[in-house]
Structure 1
């Protein structure tokens, strides 16, 4: 269990204050379609936005293991809070690849800037203008944007070898937010649409997506790991916590009651085994990202393990929900919310099991000289 003591080696903490606030406001976040300001502030104090911020900007340049553990802990209390927490951390990592002047501008007021993003797929329109870019159009979804200080957006732009997937860092104050998020799960993430009208972005606040595949020499370990090696890992972390919370709820509802139905034994044993296996897979993937050799096979193994863990968690939550009876279908059912949240997270493209399987097979059968890009 993580504690409230903050060190460089454990900079992200799912402390008691954050967990209590997330649990207390989970229903309110779902009803409002966004996190409460209190939860957004608590996850910032816990250190999620600064977790991957470079040390020269005051951040922790932290490891993936603590992030996965803390995110899962928060997700047991509120999946939407955990999703935003993980993405604020992840987007800080992406912004760390901006040119030096861009990094200085983004974190001029300190490392706790909350950063939302809509970078895949490219959307809107970017036109070169006056040594920078002019952005127009709409981007969605951008999780946590109502509480963000900055937003990363992506559009197609001309490049040396054809069109280029380019990312732009824009102050949240220069964008309009449209309340469009109405999903069955992760309802409290506020994954709304942002709109730009003639927003100018200087060159130093932009970068091509390929920058994330070939980190600069001498970067901290968390910035030396290519994006595909850790993207699925970060998205799977909330799902692990959702599944653990669902298991705890389902078990508590049956503790001390009448003799369980015979099928209860199988449901409980199989669901708990799936969740335990998923935790081991994500722990291994995080350790590989933090300390393992970076090769094309390692990248593919991480994608494989994160996607498999996500599938195991979704299957576990689904079996618990189906075995919970009619009461799980009530509007205020915690288990129903977990089922909706788990189903929504598992549908994210980064966790696609078929895509991960293809990448793993290609890495095994047609190695490319261990080039992780």
Structure 2
């Protein structure tokens, strides 16, 4: 079944239906630095934590375009909630590439939530039947409400060197360090997790080199258009909906507050009468449009190649990273412009645009999302140079 045959409109409607609930808990989530239990339970009950869960386990295997749509809608409620939903979608996708009998174990739990971060900040040593892992991982979004974590560690390679591996570990075997004290994406609960002599069976371990080269271990998902895609473009599709969603939310909030607002210490009793306001909303709206354009062509390329099975060329991977940088750059520019036009009253925490601006700032600093990093990589390709990273 092609991604276009999946229930995208129904999933979008479910997301829209959750926005009021999500908004009602944003203050609690910021105060406690994690998602509210009621929000997570509602996401699970609506199936929105199953966006990339394999279909034969009751998931949706949504197309990238649907993923972008649903995540951007959830962002209208709260960027942190949408971010975590994207993380869980990526976690399900990564688990769906492990051997099928491993998936049977992982997806035995209804609405399984799997958190993941790609930094190999742990060490693994060989042990009979598997590996023993020790280390810690920062920025582990959604850890408080996850059942499993994809851990990345440096482990012995067949030639005796060290290489990064991905391993599936139950959250019950990891320690959570509640150290998430940040200015943006506060409600994600992106804490540090710690492994202390955690044994991982060999079946639950895959070399990152194989994953990055799309050499997956699942037989059941081998012909799936959703799972027949490279990891980095797939992972980016799980997050770009947050970027454009934050920009869309900033525009909506600005226009909602515009009627009746004046520009203090000027002759404008109505901010909407000021030419500067016209320029601001026009430019911001065009920036949102441009971000959406790049986001959707990223998603469409991913979906089209997943259906056709056509291999990704190196220049396509590098260009995709360039598009990603542009989505983030234009989204942040739109938010910053509207926040600057929102006046001193927008500093109150009850006004959403201050949270939106903090969230897009945090988003843009993510190592994979940073515009400068993405532009440099794309520019290397345009200059005829090889990429200086394996994360393509």
Structure 1 residue corresponding to 2:230, chosen from 226, 231, 236:
226
Residue 340 of structure 1 pairs with residue 358 of structure 2: yes
Partner of residue 289, structure 2: 276
Summarize the Cα distance change of 1:38–1:305 in structure 2 as closer, same or farther, 3 Å threshold. Answer: same
Counterpart in the other structure of 1:355 = 373
- Deviation for aligned residue 1:12: 4.2
- 3-state DSSP class of the match of 1:224? coil
Instruction: Note the C-alpha offset of 1:9.
Output: 4.1
Aligned 8 A contact 1:233 1:302 in 2: no
Do the aligned partners of residues 37 and 372 (structure 1) sit closer, same or farther apart at CA in structure 2, a change above 3 Å counting?
closer
Q: Distance in 2 between matches of 1:328 and 1:296?
A: 44
**1:299 matched to 2:317:** yes
- Deviation of residue 88 (structure 1)? 0.5
Distance 2:318 2:195 in 1: 36
CA offset at residue 358 of structure 1?
A: 3.4
In structure 1, the residue matched to 2:266 is: none
Partner of 2:45: 45
Deviations 1:241-274 (A, max 9, x none): 1111111111111124533233111111111110
Distance in 1 separating the partners of 2:246 and 2:329 = 13
Question: Separation in 2 of the partners of 1:266 and 1:337?
Answer: 23
Residues 1:210 and 1:57: Cα distance change in structure 2 (over 3 Å): farther
In structure 2, distance between residues paired with 1:115 and 1:63: 19
* SS of the residue 2:239 aligns to: helix
Matching residue of 2:96: 96
Mean CA deviation greater in 194-203 or 181-190: 194-203
The CA distance in 2 between the partners of 1:94 and 1:48, in whole Å, is 17
- Match in the other structure for 1:67: 67
Structure 1 residue 367: deviation in Å?
Answer: 8.7
1:265 has 2:278 as partner:
yes
- Partners of 2:178 and 2:60 lie apart in 1 by 33
CA contact (8 A) 1:232 1:307 kept: no
Task: Give yes or no for contact 2:89–2:238 (8 Å, CA) kept in 1.
Answer: no
Q: CA distance change for structure 1 residues 14 and 147 in 2, over 3 Å: closer, same or farther?
A: farther
* Counterparts of 1:287 and 1:247, CA distance in 2: 25
Q: Alignment RMSD, CA only?
A: 2.3
Distance 1:372 1:352, change over 3 A: closer
5+ long unaligned stretches in structure 2: 262-268
Partner of 1:180: 179
Structure 1 distance, partners of 2:313, 2:7, is 25
Corresponding residue number in structure 1 for 2:131: 133
Contact 1:116–1:145, Cα closer than 8 Å, also in 2: yes
Q: Which residue, 227, 236, 242 being the options, matches 1:238?
A: 242
How far is 1:43 from its partner? 1.6
1:3 aligns to what?
none
Segment drifting more, 342-351 vs 206-215: 206-215
Q: Alpha carbons of 1:104 and 1:366: their partners in 2 closer, same or farther (altered >3 Å)?
A: farther
Does residue 62 of structure 2 align to residue 58 of structure 1?
no
Secondary structure of the structure 2 residue equivalent to 1:180: coil
SS of alignment partner, residue 222 of structure 1: coil
Contact 2:119 2:137 in 1 (8 A): no
Q: What is the TM-score normalised by the length of structure 2?
A: 0.87
Alpha-carbon shift at residue 356 of structure 1 (Å): 2.1
Deviation at 1:365, TM superposition (A): 4.8
For residues 128 and 105 of structure 1, what CA distance do their matches in structure 2 show? 23
Instruction: Name the SS for the 2:165 alignment partner.
Output: strand
| Contact 2:139/2:192, CA 8 A, preserved across alignment | yes
Number of aligned residue pairs: give it: 364
**TM-score, normalised with respect to structure 1:** 0.91
Q: How far apart, in 2, do the equivalents of 1:363 and 1:231 lie?
A: 21
Report the counterpart of residue 120 of structure 2 in structure 1: 122
CA–CA separation in structure 2 for the residues paired with 1:13 and 1:200: 40
TM superposition shift of 1:219: 3.2
Distance 1:336 1:246 in 2: 9
CA contact under 8 A between 2:114 and 2:149: conserved in structure 1? yes
Question: For the Cα contact (< 8 Å) 2:68–2:239, is it kept in 1?
Answer: no
Structure 1 residue 317 displacement after superposition = 0.7
